[in-house]
Amino acid sequence: MTAKLISGVEIARQIREELKGETGRLKEKCKVTPGLVTILVGQNPASMSYVTAKQKAAREIGFHSVQENQPETMTEYELLALIERYNRDPKIHGILVQLPLPRHINETKVLYAIDPKKDVDGFHPLNVGKMVIGEADYLPCTPAGIQQLLIRSGVKTDGAEVVIVGRSNIVGKPIANILLQKKPGANATVTICHTGTKEMASHTRRADILIVAAGRPRSITADMVKEGAVVIDVGVNRIGKTPDGKALLCGDVDFDAVKEKAGMITPVPGGVGPMTITMLMMNTLKAAKLAAGIESR
């Protein structure tokens, strides 16, 4: 059997079209233009390309978009002051600080400084807490994207055995929290594996839905997957360069072998990746609506 491909590119395109339509209506009827600022400190090439892609998506949807490119030498104090300026700017509804930050800047302090109402990445502890109790305004982008991939591919999560490999604060823990809520598109039985897990394959083989976010290239092999399972590969591993000099990527799943056993699978690239930016746009639109009182908390 060859698994059905879950195309993040296609699903992200559909959602962005919906967001474009909603943004147009918001501008026309309510005179509100969602505003997003992306703050990049330094010149990390991967971060630069992520920020550029986020700004491009924001412009295409019709947002007011501001890109702050700051030098590597920016101090923590200066960054906190910049965030405070955007916290007070009524034209800006979403603030995204691209991570990682240079070593001399305390990431936690910076994330805590963003007004939780403008925290469209969903990393502020207030928003993390609201997510855990099922009252989130903004779900963190990559896990929210995974949930959308499942919903829009018709995957039934209600009562499903979900196994997640990885317990990071940006992917593993939040997707576990999201999928165990007693809500549509969730209500699953969730297990999280990590480096302390014994006999990981005994868990992954039970999964109706296997979500892998370990950052270990092709480490999930076909013998670790149940026949017919839905496999979501979050991993992005740079394993070399293409002949035209671009980064050659692979996921955490041995795609060629696992696709012969799984029922559905996401590719890398073109799976979870395009969804992350799309969810940032969805959160920014929501932030604008909340600020304008069009939607309530």
Span interacting with ligand NAP, options 38-46, 122-130, 191-199, 256-264, rule CB under 6 A: 191-199
Residue of 98, 147, 148, 181 marked catalytic: 98
Q: Which member of 150, 211, 229, 236 binds ligand NAP (CB under 6 A)? A: 236
* Amino acid residing at 89: D
Q: Which of 256, 275, 276, 274 is nearest to 265 (CA)?
A: 256
Interaction with ligand NAP in 67-86: which residues (CB under 6 A)?
A: none
Query: Is position 115 annotated as part of the catalytic site?
Result: no
Residue of 55, 117, 119, 121 marked catalytic: 121
Token pair, residue 21, equals 């339509």
Say which residue the tokens 């501008």 belong to.
27
Of 23 and 276, the one with the shorter C-beta distance to ligand NAP is: 276
Beta bridge partners of residue 253, listed in sequence order: 220
Q: How far is CA 216 from the centre of its chain?
A: 18
Does the footprint of ligand NAP cover residue 51 (CB under 6 A)? Answer: no
- Shortest separation between residue 199's beta carbon and ligand NAP, angstroms: 11
Residue 131's alpha-carbon distances to 3, 157, 286, in angstroms, are 32, 18, 15
Question: Under rule CB under 6 A, how many of the chain's residues touch ligand NAP?
Answer: 26
Reduced to 3 states (helix: H, G, I; strand: E, B; else coil), residue 157 is coil
Span interacting with ligand NAP, options 86-94, 152-160, 164-172, 281-289, rule CB under 6 A: 164-172
- Shortest separation between residue 29's beta carbon and ligand NAP, angstroms: 33
62 Cβ contact partners less than 8 Å away, ≥ 6 residues apart: 20, 23, 24, 27, 33
Query: Is position 130 annotated as part of the catalytic site?
Result: no
Q: Which member of 156, 189, 216, 257 binds ligand NAP (CB under 6 A)? A: 216
- State yes or no: cis peptide before 269, omega within 30 of 0: yes
Does the footprint of ligand NAP cover residue 172 (CB under 6 A)? Answer: yes
Token pair, residue 33, equals 């233009």
User: Rounded to an integer, what distance in angstroms lies between the CA atom of residue 71 and that of residue 36?
Assistant: 20
* Amino acid residing at 154: G
Of 92 and 144, the one with the shorter C-beta distance to ligand NAP is: 144
Q: Which member of 159, 184, 196, 243 binds ligand NAP (CB under 6 A)? A: 196
- DSSP code at position 276: H
Does the footprint of ligand NAP cover residue 200 (CB under 6 A)? Answer: yes
Of 32 and 128, the one with the shorter C-beta distance to ligand NAP is: 128
Q: Which member of 41, 92, 139, 165 binds ligand NAP (CB under 6 A)? A: 165
Residue nearest to ligand NAP (CB): 168
Q: Beta-strand (E) ranges in the chain?
A: 4-5, 35-41, 64-70, 94-97, 161-165, 189-193, 209-212, 230-233, 237-241, 247-250, 264-265
Query: Is position 54 annotated as part of the catalytic site?
Result: yes
Does the footprint of ligand NAP cover residue 160 (CB under 6 A)? Answer: no
Show which residues are catalytic.
54, 98, 121
Which residues of this chain interact with ligand NAP, rule CB under 6 A?
Answer: 142, 165-168, 170-172, 193-197, 200, 213-216, 219, 234-237, 272-273, 276
